Amino acid sequence: MADINEKKPFKKNPLSMQMDLSRFTLATEDEKQSVDVMRPPSTFWRDGFKNFRKNKMAMVSVVVIVLIILAIIILPSFIPYTYSETIRVDGQRDRTVTNLKPYEWSEKEQEYIDNGGELFPHVMGTDQLGRDYFIRVIIGTRISLIVGFFASIIVLVIGLIYGSISGFIGGKVDLVMMRIVDIIYSLPDTLMIILLSFVLKETIGKQIQGTILSKIGTGMISMFIVFGLLYWVSMARLIRGQILSIKENEFVLAANAMGASTSRTIRKHILPNTISVIIISTALQIPSAIFTESFLSFLGLGVAVPMPSLGSLASEARQGLQAYPFKLLYPAVIISLIVLALNLIGDGLRDAFDPKLRK
Amino acid sequence: MAEVILQVKDLHTSFFTDAGEVKAVNGVSFDLEKGKVLGIVGESGSGKSVTAYSIMRILSFPGEVVGGEVLFKGTDLLKISDKEMREYRGESISIIFQDPMTSLNPVYTIGNQIDEAIRLHTDRKGEEIRQRSIELLHLVGINDPARRVKQYPHELSGGMRQRVMIAMALACEPDILIADEPTTALDVTIQAQILELIADLQAQLGMAVIIITHDLGVIADMCDEIIVMYAGSVCERGNTDDIFYSPKHEYTKNLLRSIPKAQKSNERLVPIAGNPIDLLNLPEGCAFAPRCRAAMKICLTEHPEELEISETQSAACWVNVRDQIMAETEQGGDRA
Amino acid sequence: MWRYVVKRVLLAIVTVFIVIAITFFAMNAIPGGPFDKEKASDPATIKALEKRYNLDKPLGEQFAIYLSRMMKGDLGISMRNGREISKTISTKFKVSARIGGYSILVSFAIGITLGVIAALKRNKLTDRIIIFFTTLLQSVPGFVMATLLLLLFAQVLGWFHVYSETDPSIFLPVLSLSLYPAAYITRLTKSSMLDVLADDYIRTARAKGVSPVKMVVKHALRNAVMPVVTYLGPMVAYTLTGSMVVETVFVQPGLGMEFVQSILNRDYTMIMGTTIFLASLMVIMTLVSDLLYKMVDPRITFD
């Protein structure tokens, strides 16, 4: 008998339980509410950013990026050297100022200091043409970041417009537009960039000499062009997908003839999702653009000399690598740091706003 | 006296998530006799499936059994090694799941998958194994089993896939079959077929069955005993008549009131009010109190114990205590 | 499924055609013609070369001629050294293919293994270490990685003969080419594996009493690896473009280095031929990997 009674505890005599009979009165709604603990209501954004803040690596990355950006904005005003000019000591040319190690002085510079002159130290030494390396690295970082940023913007804008149009109009237009997307998507992008850079360099290179465009270099121009021509397709597909889901919702809700609800659904559910997808996609596009730019610069198809970019600096550093390894390490570390930080931020954003992971 | 083959005693299972400890099962106990059918009923989040997974020790991360005993023929399954547990799984206790499409491996034939079960727990070899698989397919009512055995899961319909799951579960003639929401993912017409199949097989093979469901209608005919769960605890248990005709827990009463009944078609459906339970923050008192129409002050602070109502029925609800007190007071009053 | 195959093949053909067209017309947009840069050529040679290249004919016709010659395997001759481009490509490509082939194998081997391990040891130290290294490896540009490896192994440690004429070691080129894809494949495999491990049929296998080892190797692995196969296409593309860097840094006589050189030397015909070859190869490999995926998944095969 012990088995059966196991599941039914002994029958207590209720009176013996010393019950306060007043406790058996009905509970009020308020009392019930106070017990029913609900999690504080939170919007999509608040939830997402809260999640993001918990991600230590991502937060550290944000700090790193901010620091780098501040550095490249502020520091050049403190450094008396420019990225393109060979260093002159006391107005005179100095042949020994090339390939200095960090904080080293050339012979002439040493003389100058011994005679009471003051010189700003070469924090990262100098390159083989006698230019201060530190300022070149800083400017190079600026260029790389700007390129990365603008390339992403171009991709975003074109993709957004194309995808929206395709999604809104739908029908045959949409079909054709997506076919085009398919074809563009299968083109080998890097090869096309290389080809175009080369062609542009040869064709308009001479024509634009002396203008701002020449300072940027045909490599950069062609990179922007190719980005504008090829790289927006993923973004367009994403946007179109979002537009389609908005349209679907519209139809469903229109059937219910509830006007306010339609915009509310779009605002509360679809729009946040769309925007977060766009942000994440763009965030991850920047390091990709930086990679491409540095790859081109490495091949000699990037920024035009003397403009530095992290990629071209790394490429130049290959000469005399054994003697001056630091010339490679500085731009290499910075570029890796930036890309790493951006990747971590992008991943962090994705994890933070992923509806599947929200509780 | 019937032989008790499974005893679950005060089982506690929690999921240790980033957000905190989710207490899915909080002190569940029951006995299962050989050859009997037990039904566990509850809504999503009531802990019924987690109870089953705890018994079979197939909880997924981050779930862990944190207390209690599970005695299968005397052996506490919670205390044995994983290697030893593997010998029980599929051989002594089998389980079939809710969605047969995702529960079968899409890249292997169904024959391969049933063979595996046979190979793991019996001594059969070679052709014998495949023969047995075909036998099993026939047993669960699949036509042309010799051809079907070479097919892939996606080539079969939902109902057939569930039959395959059943075949796989019965491959080694287990003592207990656990059916976790076996019909929820199937069409209404197929549901009846599958339930009938399970009932037939149970009668044929004499195994004990635990049916887990949220649908009271499913178990109305089949069960010898029914347990109603809410928020990881047992609200009430009893046989079919007890539960359906004289429920003694407010939650059970609500459940019955909220399902459409064929007979009383002019009665209004009464949905259960309030929000579903948050297992991260279980209240101190009865978990159902915030949503209960008959909730009393004591319900909010004291968790009710399960008390015997009759030989077959017991419930954990303060209303019964109050009723008893009032009854005894009246009696006392009469005497006085 | 066949409809899909036909559609994809058609798309690939169209893409290759567009690539060839773009390359051809872009190169021909360069003013001054290909021969102005040649210094030591007398008018007779120029006339002969022009004839060979049909430069006196309208552009469209030139294109048609180029195409028809290409079908027969004739890509013209190099501007620098007059050698048959197709011959140069095939010779040099053998080197690149060897390095590339090895690196693809290495990437998949390392990537899948580490990915599975990371998934199984999720959130433990092993996993964190793997995540750390993969994230790091994905942030370092290929040429930086190659140069760093060169610095470290060949010059500092002196382990490998990099500049040897007779037998340049391919260990370093293969290694530096495989690191980025290995990191990517690791993440991909881990994520896919985690998804699979959460799938219901794994729970079923466990409920049947299948051992953990068998669960991973028999039930999970096959399902998890399928999406990774789709990476083959992009991986080949990466390897081909990466070879430009790697061969340059490690001085390997492959097609990548040849391409870079021809850009520096302004060898138009060579650039054209190589671009078309590489681009077509990329498109074809992407096609192959897409079709491969469809064939490996039995759900699609039988539809």
CA angle A156, A159, A164 (to 5 degrees): 120
For B296, phi then psi, to 5°, come to -115, 170
Q: b/e string for B234-267 if b means 16 or more Cβ within 10 A?
A: bbbbbebebbeeebbbbbbbbbeeeeeeeeeeee
Pairing of strands A92-93, A88-89: antiparallel
Asked whether residue A216 carries a pLDDT value surpassing 50, the answer given is yes
User: Hey, which chains touch A, using 3+ CB pairs under 8 Å?
Assistant: B, C
What pLDDT score does A10 carry?
Answer: 43
pLDDT band for position C247 (cuts 50, 70, 90) = confident
Q: Locate the DSSP E strands across A51-186.
A: 88-89, 92-93
- Quickly tell me which residue has 């000469």 as its tokens: A319
pLDDT band for position B176 (cuts 50, 70, 90) = very high
Residues of A in contact with C23 (CB under 8 A): 195
Is C207 in the A-facing interface, judged by CB distances under 8 Å?
no
CB pairs under 8 A between A and B: 94
CB B239 within 8 A of CB B226: yes
Residue A88 burial (CB count, 10 A): 12
Kindly state the DSSP code that residue A229 receives in the 8-state scheme. I
- Quickly tell me which residue has 């209404």 as its tokens: B188
What pLDDT score does B332 carry?
Answer: 60
Is C52 in the B-facing interface, judged by CB distances under 8 Å?
no
- What distance in Å separates the CA atoms of residue B19 and residue B21, rounded to the nearest whole number? 7
Asked whether residue C109 carries a pLDDT value surpassing 90, the answer given is yes
Across A142-151, A195-204, B160-169, the highest mean pLDDT is recorded for B160-169
CA distance C240 to chain A (A): 10
CB C243 within 8 A of CB C101: no
Across A16-30, A273-287, B136-150, C15-29, the highest mean pLDDT is recorded for B136-150
Q: What is the mean pLDDT of residues B223-235?
A: 90
CA angle B313, A36, A44 (to 5 degrees): 125
What is the Cα Rg of chain B in Å?
22
CB A235 within 8 A of CB C61: no
CA distance B278 to chain A (A): 8
Residues of C in contact with B103 (CB under 8 A): 200-201, 203-204
Q: What percent of chain A has pLDDT over 70?
A: 70
Q: Give the residue from B309, B288, B315, B303 showing the smallest Cα distance to B227.
A: B315
pLDDT band for position B216 (cuts 50, 70, 90) = confident
Residues of A in contact with C147 (CB under 8 A): 314, 317-318, 321, 328, 332
SS3 A38: coil
Q: Give CB contacts under 8 A, 24+ apart, made by C46-52.
A: C52/C77
CA distance B102 to chain C (A): 6
Nearest CA in chain C to B172: C208
What pLDDT score does A5 carry?
Answer: 36
Return the minimum-mean-pLDDT range out of A105-119, A150-164, C7-21, C124-138.
Answer: A105-119
User: Hey, which chains touch B, using 3+ CB pairs under 8 Å?
Assistant: A, C
Residues of B in contact with C198 (CB under 8 A): 60
SS3 A89: strand
What pLDDT score does C165 carry?
Answer: 54
Q: Do B94 and C299 touch (CB under 8 A)?
A: no
Phi-psi category of A127—alpha, beta or left, where left has phi over 0 and alpha has psi -120 to 50?
beta
Q: Do C263 and A321 touch (CB under 8 A)?
A: no
Is A41 in the B-facing interface, judged by CB distances under 8 Å?
no
CA distance C193 to chain A (A): 17
Q: Do B275 and A36 touch (CB under 8 A)?
A: yes
As given in the structure block, the two tokens for residue A42 are 């939170």
What pLDDT score does A9 carry?
Answer: 45
Nearest CA in chain A to C235: A188
Q: Do C155 and A321 touch (CB under 8 A)?
A: yes
Q: What is the mean pLDDT of residues A83-92?
A: 69
CA distance A144 to chain C (A): 13
pLDDT band for position A88 (cuts 50, 70, 90) = low
Terminal-to-terminal C-alpha distance of chain B: 43
Q: What percent of chain C has pLDDT over 90?
A: 10
Q: What HEC string does chain B produce?
A: CCCEEEEEEEEEEEEEECCEEEEEEEEEEEEEECCCEEEEECCCCCCHHHHHHHHHCCCCCCEEEEEEEEEECCEECCCCCHHHHHHHECCCEEEECCCHHHHCCCCCCHHHHHHHHHHHHCCCCCHHHHHHHHHHHHHCCCCCHHHHCCCCHHHCCHHHHHHHHHHHHHCCCCCEEEEECCCCCCCHHHHHHHHHHHHHHHHHHCCEEEEEECCHHHHCCCCCEEEEEECCEEEEEECHHHHHHCCCCHHHHHHHHHCCCCCCCCCCCCCCCCCCCCCCCCCCCCCCHHHCCCCEHHHHHCCCCCEECCCCCEECCHHHHHHHHHHHHHHHHHHC
Is C199 in the B-facing interface, judged by CB distances under 8 Å?
yes
Residue-averaged pLDDT of chain C = 80
Report the run of H or E that residue C120 belongs to, with start and end.
helix C85-120
CB B156 within 8 A of CB B110: yes
- What distance in Å separates the CA atoms of residue B196 and residue B179, rounded to the nearest whole number? 13
pLDDT band for position C186 (cuts 50, 70, 90) = very high
Return the minimum-mean-pLDDT range out of B243-247, C12-16, C155-159.
Answer: C155-159
Residue-averaged pLDDT of chain A = 74
What pLDDT score does C274 carry?
Answer: 87
Kindly state the DSSP code that residue C211 receives in the 8-state scheme. -
CA distance C233 to chain B (A): 23
Return the minimum-mean-pLDDT range out of B97-106, C40-49, C60-69.
Answer: C40-49
What is the Cα Rg of chain C in Å?
24
Is B307 in the A-facing interface, judged by CB distances under 8 Å?
yes
Nearest CA in chain B to A30: B290
CA distance C164 to chain B (A): 49
Across A171-180, B11-20, B205-214, the highest mean pLDDT is recorded for B205-214
Asked whether residue A261 carries a pLDDT value surpassing 70, the answer given is no
CB B235 within 8 A of CB B277: no
Q: Which residues make Cβ contacts (< 8 Å) with residue A154, sequence separation at least 6?
A: A224, A227, A228, A231, A232
User: Which residue of C204, C297, C301 is the best one to mutate when testing the B interface, meaning the one whose CB has the most B CBs within 10 A?
Assistant: C204
Is B306 in the A-facing interface, judged by CB distances under 8 Å?
yes
Residues of C in contact with B117 (CB under 8 A): 208-209
Which residues does B contribute to its contact with C (CB < 8 Å)?
56, 58, 60-61, 82, 86-91, 94-95, 97, 99, 102-107, 116-117, 120-121, 152, 154-155, 165, 168
As given in the structure block, the two tokens for residue A298 are 């490495």
- What distance in Å separates the CA atoms of residue A109 and residue A105, rounded to the nearest whole number? 6
Q: Do C302 and B152 touch (CB under 8 A)?
A: yes
What pLDDT score does A3 carry?
Answer: 36
For C141, which of A198, A203, A294 is closest by C-beta distance?
Answer: A294
Give CA separation, C250 vs A38, C179, C278, in Å. 63, 16, 20
Nearest CA in chain A to B328: A15
CA distance A142 to chain C (A): 18
CA distance A21 to chain B (A): 9
Q: What is the mean pLDDT of residues A136-160?
A: 86
CB B45 within 8 A of CB B59: no
What is the Cα Rg of chain A in Å?
31
Residue-averaged pLDDT of chain B = 85
Q: What percent of chain A has pLDDT over 90?
A: 0
As given in the structure block, the two tokens for residue A149 are 């940023």
Q: Which residues make Cβ contacts (< 8 Å) with residue C232, sequence separation at least 6?
A: C104, C285, C288, C289, C292
For A321, which of C136, C147, C286 is closest by C-beta distance?
Answer: C147
Residues of B in contact with A351 (CB under 8 A): none
pTM for this one? Answer: 0.79
CA distance C28 to chain A (A): 9
Q: Do B274 and A36 touch (CB under 8 A)?
A: yes
Asked whether residue C41 carries a pLDDT value surpassing 60, the answer given is no
User: Which residue of B103, B152, B162 is the best one to mutate when testing the C interface, meaning the one whose CB has the most C CBs within 10 A?
Assistant: B103
For A27, which of B17, B296, B329 is closest by C-beta distance?
Answer: B296
Asked whether residue B172 carries a pLDDT value surpassing 70, the answer given is yes
Q: What is the mean pLDDT of residues B268-295?
A: 74
